[in-house]
């Protein structure tokens, strides 16, 4: 064999070996929790719902006294952390963290009664149920939605915005009536953030300042940014462009979290001086007040909007119409004729999506 042939053969085997090392293992590929919270694809939630690893999430709470059995043995203590990946137990000697996949058995000896943690657990389970429901959803199979899109395509371009604003007004009113409120906040994952971030972290975190801080000015107080339904039509909320993309038309985000701005939590925050300033796109929190709230103390983070105030778990938006079948949804035959949706058509589709999630689903 010539030296050039040897080099070629060596290079080929190197590529094969590198690919094999980079490819996910079977265990990684089959990790249902990784699949569940993939930002760009709904995974096989029906498998997750049946998976044994969901049981600890349903039964165990932070502060519970538990006995757990792992592949390395048995230990007892108080639960300090529990999420879809791991559990941390504080024993008499130290804190031990175990991947949930290594948990063989468990027993709750005594419940700690952490009601705030219960709300996070409830939000997690609601998120799973909503994802499961999405896979069996009849929204994309609805003849009315498909026919409306066909009708909307035939409307002259100059009339489309008026049509969308009319639909937006109607849907927003329906949402408010269904959830017994007259003021709703809509929060985007503007700078990224996966589905789990808005559940496992106990809600929407308040962050320091605004974009002007990058240029030597701005507001350095703790804030949560959102769209206030008192100031924005649903059309404006869904139609808004991402401010960081000047040359390209990009959506504000792909996850939208709706919450009740008139809930007891927000009423108390205003009355107690916890919210020191608010406008149509943000609310500013007193740092001392927010860090003393139960959810912030539990999460050791400044949680501005707790999961308890959500109208629904974060809603994935603006998925390409071609992906509907890929995630196993039943779709109306009309969508095969529609093809790629325009910006305005996708805005209309998401209005009906929000109506379905926040109104119709609550009628069932």
Exposed/middle/buried for 159, CB within 10 Å: 0-12, 13-18, 19+? exposed
Whether residue 208 is found in the same domain as residue 298? yes
Q: Are residues 104 and 184 in the same domain?
A: no
DSSP bridge partners of 103: 70
Residue 244 lies in a domain: yes
Which of 119, 116, 74 has its CA nearest to residue 98?
A: 74
Q: Is residue 211 part of a domain?
A: yes
Strand partners, 224: 283
Residue 283's φ and ψ, nearest 5 degrees, are: -130, 140
Question: How many residues in total does the chain contain?
Answer: 364
Exposed/middle/buried for 20, CB within 10 Å: 0-12, 13-18, 19+? exposed
Q: For residues 97 and 222, state if they share a domain.
A: no
| C-alpha separations of 42 from 20, 50, 135 in Å | 26, 16, 8
8 A C-beta contact, residue 128 and residue 50: no
Q: What is the pLDDT of residue 23?
A: 38
Q: Is residue 102 a part of any domain in this protein?
A: yes
Instruction: Write out residues in the chain with pLDDT < 50, as ranges.
Output: 8, 10-50, 212, 215
197 shares its domain with 231: yes
Report the CATH number at residue 78.
2.30.30.520
> 109 with 241, same domain?
no
Are 74 and 178 in a shared domain?
A: no
Domain holding 87, by residue range, is 55-60+62-113
Q: Answer yes or no: are the C-beta atoms of 315 and 262 closer than 8 Å.
A: no
pLDDT of 303: 94
Short-list 263, 271, 315, 269, CA closest to 296: 269
The reply to whether 69 and 146 lie within a common domain is no
pLDDT of amino acid 196: 76
Report whether 319 contacts 134 (CB < 8 A). no
- Cα–Cα distance measured from residue 105 to residue 108, given in angstroms and rounded to the nearest whole number: 11
Residues 90 and 167 reside in one and the same domain: no
Query: Are 289 and 146 part of one and the same domain?
Result: yes
Q: What residues does 105 pair with on adjacent strands?
A: 69
Predicted pLDDT of residue 246: 80
- Are 182 and 94 found together in one domain? no
109 and 218 assigned to the same domain = no
Indicate if 290 and 224 belong to the same structural domain. yes
Tally of structural domains, the chain? 2
In a domain? residue 347: yes
In a domain, 353, yes or no: yes
Model pLDDT, residue 49 = 40
The predicted structure's pLDDT at residue 178: 94
User: Is residue 122 domain-resident?
Assistant: no
Count CB-CB contacts under 10 A for residue 320: 10
Torsion-angle region of residue 300: left (phi > 0), alpha (psi -120 to 50) or beta? left
Q: Is residue 218 part of a domain?
A: yes
């Amino acid at each position: 064999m010539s030296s050039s042939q040897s080099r070629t053969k060596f290079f080929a085997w190197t590529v094969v070996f590198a690919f094999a090392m980079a490819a996910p293992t079977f265990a990684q590929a089959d990790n249902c929790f990784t699949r569940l919270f993939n930002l760009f694809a709904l995974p096989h939630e029906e498998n997750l719902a049946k998976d044994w690893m969901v049981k600890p999430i349903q039964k165990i709470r932070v502060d519970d006294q538990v006995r757990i059995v792992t592949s390395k043995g048995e230990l007892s203590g108080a639960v300090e952390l529990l999420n879809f990946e791991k559990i941390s137990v504080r024993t008499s000697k130290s804190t031990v963290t175990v991947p949930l996949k290594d948990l063989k058995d468990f027993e709750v000896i005594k419940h700690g009664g952490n009601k705030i943690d219960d709300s996070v657990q409830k939000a997690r389970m609601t998120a799973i149920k909503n994802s499961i429901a999405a896979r069996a959803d009849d929204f994309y199979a609805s003849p009315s939605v498909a026919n409306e899109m066909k009708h909307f395509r035939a409307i002259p371009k100059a009339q489309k915005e008026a049509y969308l604003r009319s639909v937006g007004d109607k849907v927003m009113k329906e949402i408010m009536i269904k959830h017994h409120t007259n003021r709703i906040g809509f929060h985007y994952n503007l700078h990224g953030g996966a589905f789990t971030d808005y559940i496992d972290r106990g809600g929407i975190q308040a962050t320091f300042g605004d974009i002007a801080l990058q240029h030597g000015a701005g507001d350095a107080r703790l804030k949560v940014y959102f769209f206030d339904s008192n100031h924005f039509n649903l059309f404006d909320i869904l139609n808004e462009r991402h401010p960081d993309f000047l040359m390209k038309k990009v959506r504000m985000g792909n996850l939208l979290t709706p919450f009740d701005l008139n809930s007891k939590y927000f009423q108390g925050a205003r009355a107690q001086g916890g919210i020191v300033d608010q406008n149509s796109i943000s609310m500013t929190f007193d740092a001392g007040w927010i860090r003393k709230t139960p959810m912030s103390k539990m999460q050791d983070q400044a949680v501005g909007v707790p999961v308890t105030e959500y109208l629904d778990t974060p809603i994935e938006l603006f998925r390409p119409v071609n992906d509907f079948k890929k995630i196993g949804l039943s779709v109306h035959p009309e969508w095969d004729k529609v093809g790629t949706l325009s910006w305005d058509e996708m805005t209309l589709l998401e209005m009906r999506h929000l109506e379905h999630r926040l109104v119709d689903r609550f009628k069932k």
